[in-house]
Chain A
Amino acid sequence: ETGVTQSPTHLIKTRGQQVTLRCSSQSGHNTVSWYQQALGQGPQFIFQYYREEENGRGNFPPRFSGLQFPNYSSELNVNALELDDSALYLCASSLELYNEQFFGPGTRLTVL
C-alpha cells in the first residue's frame, strides 16, 4: 500500500511568484487536508477537500487555493508569494471525514 506522497520535496521561489504543490493521497482515501508548518511551530490547517469539494478552510487568505481531482489527489496553489509563506507544507489523507489523518513527507517552500 502506497502512503501519501508529495512533490516537489523542496522549492525556492521569489516574492510575488506563484507556486503549485502536489499531493497523492493514500489508496482508498477520499479526504485530503493541507497544513502549513512554519519553523518551530505546529502545523496550521489551511483547508480540506472531500470528494472533490472544499469541506472547510482555516484562517488563510484567498491567495491560498486548492483542488482535488477525481482520483483524490490534490493541489495547493499559492499566489503572490510573501516571505512569510516560507514553511513546510504538509498534506494528509484520510479514509473518510473525521478519521485519522496520514501525512506525507511535506514540501519545503522557501520564498526569497
Chain B
Amino acid sequence: AQSVTQLDSQVPVFEEAPVELRCNYSSSVSVYLFWYVQYPNQGLQLLLKYLSGSTLVESINGFEAEFNKSQTSFHLRKPSVHISDTAEYFCAALMDSSYKLIFGSGTRLLVRP
C-alpha cells in the first residue's frame, strides 16, 4: 500500500541550530513530493515541492529538501531555525499517477530560545 512515513512526531531544537525532518515514502514508479506547514488553527501551506528535475528543492524562507530515489526519502532541512518556524510539518506524496495526496502523520518542530 502507498504510504508516507514521518518517524519523528516531535523535534525540539534551539534557535539558530540546524534541523532535519525526515520523510520516507513507499517505493513507486513515479512520485511527486511535497512539504506542507501548518500553524496552529490554520490550514496547510505549501512549503516546497519536487515534481521533476533537480533533486534539491528550496523554499523562500530557507528550507530545502532533497529527493533521494534510492533511499525513497525527501528529508526537509534548514541550516538555522527561528522561533517563528515552530509549527507542524507534513510530508505528502502523489504516487504512480494517483489522484490521492497521501500525507505522513506530521512532525511538530518546536524551536526554543
Report A's interface with B, CB cutoff 8 A: 4, 6, 33, 35, 40-45, 48, 50, 55-56, 58, 90, 92, 97-98, 100-106, 108
Q: A41-B106, A42-B105, A98-B32 are in contact. Are A56 and B43 (CB under 8 A)?
A: no
- Complex Cα spacing A105 to B92, Å: 18
Q: A103-B36, A104-B43 are in contact. Are A56 and B103 (CB under 8 A)?
A: no
- Complex Cα spacing A101 to B105, Å: 18
Interface size class of B (residues with CB under 8 A): 20 to 34
B90 touches A48 (CB 8 A): no
- Complex Cα spacing A33 to B100, Å: 9
Q: A41-B105, A56-B99 are in contact. Are A100 and B34 (CB under 8 A)?
A: yes
Q: State whether the Cβ of B101 lies closer than 8 Å to any Cβ in chain A.
A: yes
- Contact with B101, one of A41, A45, A105, A106 (Cβ below 8 angstroms): A45
State how many angstroms separate the Cβ of B68 from the closest Cβ of chain A.
20
Q: Which chain B residue shows the least CB distance to A4?
A: B43
Residues of B within 8 A of A45 (CB): 100-102
Residues of A within 8 A of B105 (CB): 41-42
